[in-house]
Amino acid sequence: MARILITGGAGFIGANLTRRLLALGHAVTVLDNFYTGRRENLAGLHGVTLLEADARAPIEGAYDWVFSLACPASPPHYQRDPLFTLTTSLEGMRRVLELAHRCGARILHASTSEVYGDPLVHPQPESYWGHVNTLGIRSCYDEGKRAAETMALEYRQTFGIDVRLVRIFNTYGPHMDPKDGRVVSNFILQALRGEPITLYGDGGQTRSFQYVDDLVEGFMAYMTAAPETLDAFFTPRGCAIPVLNMGNPGEFTVRQLAEEVLGLLPESPSHIVFRPLPGDDPKRRKPDITWAKACLGWEPRVPLREGLARTIDYFRNHL
């Protein structure tokens, strides 16, 4: 049994990870200020210790593993208070690194495919430096996450902290916040409610959608990998810190996603309407997961249609 801290543990990914860790018999502490995390995501879970706190404050206690997930992550949420997003990303990273420095914990830090911005390389491998606007509406998130990666690198180099970075691509599934404005939850809820399906732009932009159980599997494989195994993989590749993409390489246009959702809900009267494309919206996104496959033997297993069907069931029961 490991002592585990999940910062941002009441959010979408945290809720799924917490359930998996409890099922494995671990002692789980969730730190969350409920800015975007939701109490109902932890409802009925026995054995979770809750620390209601801002991730930017010093963290007490001692842990074996820390999953560093605290940060608003959907565009409408992270754009609501950009300074909060930027400081949570960076200060939240520093606080878990300080904690690890004090107690020797291993950290898995949630970075994002947004570090690649609106990418000029397709698909995106970890070695790609990205194409990011420092002054746009996504910058508070993108640059906060990029700087957090740098902070993790420098703490690792200076203090030898065992910190591993995972760049998460679009992920969906049960426990998503119905109000977070992401494309998968929006489309499913709109179709279930018989409301118009809001396609931004012409719907030709692409994303790669990963079912959350696949991501949680990847987290477990990555967190439990021996430091020597990671060093043997990353050092020859010129990486001073482990960094892996996790996402499903299946690539779909947003319009195809809308059609998939409507296909799974043939009784829905909803139809597609077009809305303006938000600023800096990446045109294409697809992970290159060669490294995660080679290093951890991990790859996603749940096809889009099956994951969407499970997510529709969840929302149907939670509306």
Q: Quick one: 75 or 92, whose CB is closer to ligand UDP?
A: 75
Q: How far is the CB of 183 from ligand UDP (least distance, A)?
A: 3
Q: Annotated catalytic, 141? A: yes
For residue 166, give the nearest of 107, 122, 208 by alpha carbon: 107
Q: Quick one: 198 or 290, whose CB is closer to ligand UDP?
A: 198
Angle made by CA atoms 274, 279, 283, in degrees to the nearest 5 = 75
Q: Quick one: 21 or 70, whose CB is closer to ligand UDP?
A: 70
Cα atoms in the Cβ-side hemisphere of radius 13 Å centred on 222? 29
Q: How far is the CB of 70 from ligand UDP (least distance, A)?
A: 18
Q: How far is the CB of 189 from ligand UDP (least distance, A)?
A: 10
Q: Quick one: 73 or 295, whose CB is closer to ligand UDP?
A: 73
Catalytic residue chosen out of the listed positions 141, 155, 172, 222: 141
The footprint of ligand UDP (CB under 6 A) covers: 74-75, 170, 182-183, 186, 198-200, 205, 207, 254, 277-278, 281
Q: How far is the CB of 233 from ligand UDP (least distance, A)?
A: 28
Residue 201 Cα distances to 132, 136, 282, angstroms:
20, 18, 11
> For residue 108, what are its two tokens?
């898995």
List CB contacts of 3: < 8 A, sequence separation 6 or more: 26, 27, 29, 62, 63, 64, 65
Q: Is 81 exposed, middle or buried (0-12, 13-18, 19+ CB in 10 A)?
A: middle
Q: Which residues are marked as active site?
A: 141
